[in-house]
Amino acid sequence: MGKLPILLLSFLFLSLFCNGQIVKQTIKKCDCSSKIVTDSLITKYIDNGSDKHHRHYSEFQLYLDSLIAICPLAIAYREKAIPFIMGGDYAKAFPLEDKAVELEPKTYTAYRAFLKCIFTKDYFGAITDFEKAQQLTPDGYEMDHTYFFYMGLCNLELKNYTAAEENFQRDISIQTRGDKGNTPHFNSLLYAGILYFEMKNIVKAKEFLLQCLKAYSNSPDANYYLALTYNLEGDINTKRQYLRAAYEAVSNGYLLNETNEAFTYYPHQITLFEVEKEINNGK
Amino acid sequence: MDTTNNLKSNCDTYNNYYYSLGCKYPKNSTSLLKELQVFLKNKNNRYSGSGYITFHFRIDCEGKPNQKVKVLQTDANYKTYHFDKILVNDLYLFLKTLNEWKIGLAKNGNTYSYLAFITFKIYNGKITNIAP
């Protein structure tokens, strides 16, 4: 099923974009190494094709399969995997991600690492991929953050605190380029603060979480972990103050501010349940 | 596993996923994992294998999960795999204890059913994480 529409779409495209190179049913292949050709294909089959359809409907896959039939572009495999990642079907998602990495390792190794870190919580696998990505594209970014930010998250979750500390320091240093006047991403500050809270380094935990709140005062997570930090030193009044702020923030719809937060909880992310539980613990 | 379809007939079956309605389960992975560990301790079973077990199901317009589930299992490298039935069944029984699913309320004020899933990450027979 689906082969005929793919062929028809492919045929239509070839006649339009490959300059009529169809002679007596013999299809001369597009030059898939040409950027002009691949850009045109992406515009037609992704921007004006799959992207116009619901990701969980068959038309979405059909456009991408048609594109692959013409030129097996890495981006098409990456796009095909998205609904499977969103739907938790990893056996279908990761062979497609692997294919994208095989075709364009420089572009997609870090993306696969990101998926392992945030979506499937495969922290060892994510670190391995981010290390490869660092070799391929040193000090690169994926989904708004440096590779070291995500490696820091992985090591934080694996309780490799020394490694996580090195990762977050490197993350911040890449962002600020050594200039203290440059402010890092507020979630870099948040996670550095959470790491120091876990390490029971109260001074540094406060320093980073307060810096995070300076940039994002309604961060439920920064307020929550700052409350727990004050709790560590027995300052119950300040703990309550920040827990109340966390409660207000979550109740008013503020969340960990990350593009993919709707799909999955980020490491250490809290919800109203955890805040209320902590408030009730203190009573 | 009783996977009888018990979705209410007056509840639509659009292809909404939890994320389009802001309906992740309202506890984070750490909290759910703690509850799961207590639950499995009471079962007193031994498990093995590494990978992922994912249950797909629908939440109806009243925030109640449909009993009809689809189970997907992979090894740690995301290749199709089969865990012991005891583990799958125990996780399914735990899933049935989750009764705080959000109602799928859209911006237009209508309520919708939605598709949800819960993935258990397993390492050497121990549940190490829960997503999403």
CATH topology (fold) of A201-283? 1.25.40
Interface of B with A in 22-61 (CB under 8 A): 22, 24, 26-31, 52, 54, 56
Question: Which residue, chain included where needed, has tokens 């609904």?
Answer: A83
pLDDT digit string, tens, across residues A258-273: 999 999 999 999 999 9
pLDDT for res B67 = 85
Domain ranges of chain B: 18-131
Residues paired with A255 in a beta bridge: none
B4 has pLDDT over 90 = no
Interface contact A263, partner B, CB < 8 A:
yes
- All residues of chain A having their beta carbon less than 8 Å from the beta carbon of residue B115 are 87
Give the mean pLDDT of A182-187.
96
Q: Chain B: nearest CA to A43, how far in angstroms?
A: 26
* Contact state of A88 with B76 under an 8 Å Cβ cutoff: no
CA A32 from centre of chain: 28
> Domain ranges in chain A?
1-87, 201-283
Residue of A nearest to B30 (CA): A268
Spell out which residues of chain A touch residue B20, defining contact as CB-CB under 8 Å: 262
Task: Give long-range contacts, CB 8 A cutoff, 24+ apart: A201-204.
Answer: A202/A229, A202/A232, A202/A233
* Least CB–CB distance from B78: residue in A54, A57, A91: A91
In chain A, whose CA is at the least distance from the CA of B54? A88
Across the range B47-74, mean pLDDT stands at 95
- Average pLDDT, rounded, for chain B: 92
Residue-wise pLDDT for A185-242, tens only, equals 999 999 999 999 999 999 999 999 999 999 999 999 999 999 999 999 999 999 999 9
- Counted across chains A and B, CB pairs separated by less than 8 A come out at 80
Give Cα separations from B37 to A266, B40, B82, B126, B128 (angstroms): 21, 5, 21, 9, 10
pLDDT of residue B7: 66
Task: Please give the C-alpha separations between residue A216 and each of A118, A176, A179, A223, A263, in angstroms, as whole numbers.
Answer: 22, 18, 21, 10, 21
Average pLDDT, chain A: 92
pTM of the model: 0.91
Query: Cβ contacts (< 8 Å) between B19 and chain A: which residues?
Result: 86, 262-263
Residues of chain B with Cβ-Cβ distance to A57 below 8 Å are 15
Partner residues linked to B118 by β-bridges: B55
Residue B106: the pLDDT is 86
- Residues 6 or more apart from A146 whose CB is under 8 A from it? A139, A140, A170, A171, A174, A175
Say which range, A86-100, A215-229, B55-69, has the weakest mean pLDDT: B55-69
Span A162-188, average pLDDT: 95
- CB of A214 less than 8 A from some CB of B: no
Residue A2 has pLDDT above 90, yes or no: no
Q: What percentage of chain A has pLDDT greater than the value 90?
A: 86
Region B10-35 average pLDDT: 90
Given the cut 0.90, state whether the ipTM is greater than it: yes
